[in-house]
Amino acid sequence: MKQFIILIFLFISSGFAEDTLYAIKGGLLSHATGPISSGIEEGTDLHLELLFNKKLLKWYPTLGTDINLNGDTSFLYTGLSWEGKYFSYLYLGVFFGLALHNGD
Protein backbone atom coordinates (compact mmCIF):
# COMPACT_ATOMS: atom_id res chain seq x y z
CA MET A 1 0.00 0.00 0.00
CA LYS A 2 2.82 2.42 0.90
CA GLN A 3 4.59 1.81 -2.39
CA PHE A 4 1.33 2.29 -4.32
CA ILE A 5 0.63 5.70 -2.76
CA ILE A 6 4.23 6.86 -3.32
CA LEU A 7 4.05 5.67 -6.94
CA ILE A 8 0.82 7.65 -7.49
CA PHE A 9 2.46 10.80 -6.11
CA LEU A 10 5.52 10.38 -8.32
CA PHE A 11 3.36 9.76 -11.38
CA ILE A 12 1.16 12.82 -10.75
CA SER A 13 4.09 15.09 -9.95
CA SER A 14 6.15 14.06 -12.99
CA GLY A 15 3.33 14.40 -15.51
CA PHE A 16 1.88 17.70 -14.39
CA ALA A 17 4.79 19.47 -12.73
CA GLU A 18 5.24 22.34 -15.13
CA ASP A 19 1.66 23.32 -15.92
CA THR A 20 -0.36 22.13 -12.97
CA LEU A 21 1.69 21.95 -9.77
CA TYR A 22 2.50 24.89 -7.53
CA ALA A 23 4.55 22.93 -4.98
CA ILE A 24 5.63 19.44 -3.96
CA LYS A 25 6.23 19.06 -0.24
CA GLY A 26 7.66 16.17 1.72
CA GLY A 27 9.24 15.27 4.99
CA LEU A 28 9.43 12.98 7.98
CA LEU A 29 7.19 13.40 11.02
CA SER A 30 7.27 11.90 14.50
CA HIS A 31 4.04 9.89 14.89
CA ALA A 32 1.72 10.34 17.89
CA THR A 33 3.90 12.53 20.08
CA GLY A 34 2.99 15.46 22.28
CA PRO A 35 0.75 16.20 25.24
CA ILE A 36 -2.52 15.10 23.59
CA SER A 37 -1.20 11.85 22.10
CA SER A 38 -2.59 8.52 23.30
CA GLY A 39 0.95 7.09 23.24
CA ILE A 40 -0.37 3.83 21.77
CA GLU A 41 1.13 4.29 18.31
CA GLU A 42 4.66 5.32 17.48
CA GLY A 43 7.20 5.58 14.72
CA THR A 44 7.89 7.88 11.83
CA ASP A 45 5.51 9.15 9.16
CA LEU A 46 6.48 9.85 5.57
CA HIS A 47 4.69 13.08 4.54
CA LEU A 48 3.95 13.81 0.87
CA GLU A 49 1.84 16.74 -0.37
CA LEU A 50 0.98 18.21 -3.77
CA LEU A 51 -0.34 21.77 -4.08
CA PHE A 52 -1.87 22.46 -7.46
CA ASN A 53 -2.05 25.88 -9.13
CA LYS A 54 -4.74 28.22 -7.83
CA LYS A 55 -8.07 27.65 -9.53
CA LEU A 56 -10.55 28.85 -6.91
CA LEU A 57 -10.02 32.32 -5.47
CA LYS A 58 -6.62 32.28 -3.74
CA TRP A 59 -6.78 28.67 -2.55
CA TYR A 60 -4.56 25.80 -3.73
CA PRO A 61 -6.25 22.44 -4.42
CA THR A 62 -4.28 19.97 -2.29
CA LEU A 63 -3.65 16.21 -2.20
CA GLY A 64 -1.53 14.71 0.55
CA THR A 65 -0.71 11.66 2.62
CA ASP A 66 1.07 10.68 5.82
CA ILE A 67 2.26 7.07 5.70
CA ASN A 68 3.28 5.53 9.04
CA LEU A 69 6.43 3.48 8.47
CA ASN A 70 5.64 1.20 11.46
CA GLY A 71 2.26 0.11 10.06
CA ASP A 72 0.19 2.24 12.44
CA THR A 73 -2.39 4.83 11.33
CA SER A 74 -1.78 6.39 7.92
CA PHE A 75 -4.05 8.82 6.10
CA LEU A 76 -4.80 10.39 2.74
CA TYR A 77 -6.31 13.87 2.49
CA THR A 78 -7.60 16.34 -0.07
CA GLY A 79 -8.96 19.85 0.14
CA LEU A 80 -7.99 23.50 -0.27
CA SER A 81 -4.91 25.23 1.18
CA TRP A 82 -4.17 28.91 1.64
CA GLU A 83 -0.75 30.36 2.42
CA GLY A 84 0.18 33.94 3.21
CA LYS A 85 3.47 35.71 3.84
CA TYR A 86 3.62 38.44 6.46
CA PHE A 87 6.81 40.43 6.82
CA SER A 88 9.97 38.68 5.63
CA TYR A 89 9.93 35.94 8.28
CA LEU A 90 6.32 34.90 8.97
CA TYR A 91 4.22 32.51 6.88
CA LEU A 92 0.73 31.36 7.84
CA GLY A 93 -1.34 28.60 6.28
CA VAL A 94 -4.85 27.18 6.52
CA PHE A 95 -6.25 23.89 5.17
CA PHE A 96 -9.86 22.75 4.81
CA GLY A 97 -10.69 19.32 3.47
CA LEU A 98 -11.45 15.65 3.98
CA ALA A 99 -9.28 12.74 5.10
CA LEU A 100 -9.41 8.94 4.98
CA HIS A 101 -7.41 6.91 7.51
CA ASN A 102 -6.86 3.29 8.48
CA GLY A 103 -6.86 3.84 12.27
CA ASP A 104 -9.33 2.75 14.90
Domain region containing 26 = 2-101
Nearest CA among 21, 95, 17, 79 for reference residue 53: 21
Assess whether pLDDT exceeds 80 at residue 17. Answer: no
* Domains: count for the chain: 1
Phi, psi of 47 (to 5 degrees): -105, 125
- 36-95 pLDDT, tens digit per residue, is 666 777 788 889 998 888 866 688 899 999 998 888 888 999 999 988 889 989 989 999
Assess whether pLDDT exceeds 90 at residue 20. Answer: no
pTM of the entire structure? 0.72
Strands 44-52 and 21-30, sheet pairing: antiparallel
What is the DSSP code (8-state) at residue 34?
S
Phi, psi of 33 (to 5 degrees): -120, 160
